[in-house]
Amino acid sequence: MTATHLLIGLGNPGGTYAGTRHNVGFLSLDWIAGELHGSFRKAFFRPYLYCPVRYHTTFLILAKPLTYMNRSGEAAVRLLRRYHIAPSRMIVLCDTMDLPAGTVRIKRGGSTAGHRGIASLISEVGSSDFPRVYIGIGRPAPDNTVVAHVLGVPNDTESGFIHQGIAAAGQAALKLTSGSLEQVMHEYNRKRPILKGAEEDS
């Protein structure tokens, strides 16, 4: 069966990084897998976890690179080749400090915006022509560093907003597989996305 899209979440593998702000891309894929009754598995001798799912009439591959954030492209290029998917049909879910916690923004493509995971994807894949679903994690407090912020776990107040954003990003990514980019951007590029279960969506 031929996959139509690759949905790739950016993050760092291992228990040390689970639940950190930098891993919201992984967590959003977990939301999608849960909604569509899929489960991740390890590919033999390949640097990623993958989860095949069906969404309406389409067949999708969800993937989490195991190469760490700054080398995400090494896994992505293997996945695109294995499943014969064009870069323009790769949908990337990742964090950004440029948005308040939990806010979702979809971009058509473009620059790295300083995100090293995106930079690795562009370098390895050889194209920046892929949509990104950004999940806001906010900026660090004045007494905190960027590294400590992105690799830290959100506090209780933040966590509620971020988990809403994780679900909204997952829902938006699914809609991108079957709807127009402009329509999905119009729906989700706002402060308070409307959430509902993936299986209820049409």
CATH code for the domain of 153: 3.40.50.1470
DSSP letter for 161, please: H
Q: pLDDT tens digit string along 43-91?
A: 889 999 999 999 998 999 999 999 999 999 999 999 999 999 999 999 9
- Mean pLDDT calculated for residue range 155-175: 95
* pLDDT on residue 199: 56
Tally of CB atoms within 10 A around 79: 22
Question: Is the pLDDT assigned to residue 131 strictly greater than 90?
Answer: yes
End-to-end CA distance of the chain: 22
| Six-digit token string for 19 | 């639940």
**Structurally, how many domains does the chain consist of?**
1
**C-alpha distances in angstroms, 82 versus 3, 6, 85, 109?**
10, 11, 8, 23
Q: Side chain identity at 126, as an amino acid letter?
A: G
Of the residues 22, 115, 149, 186, only one is catalytic, namely: 22
In the beta sheet, which residues pair with residue 82?
Answer: none
Which domain range does residue 173 map to? 5-200
pLDDT tens sequence across 139-158: 999 999 999 999 999 999 89
Active site residue 22: yes
Taking every pair of Cα atoms in the chain, the longest distance, rounded to a whole number of angstroms, is 51
Helix, coil or strand: residue 56: coil
pLDDT band at 113 (very low <50, low <70, confident <90, very high): confident
Cβ-proximal residues to 174 (8 Å cutoff; 6+ apart), any chain = 32, 55, 198, 201
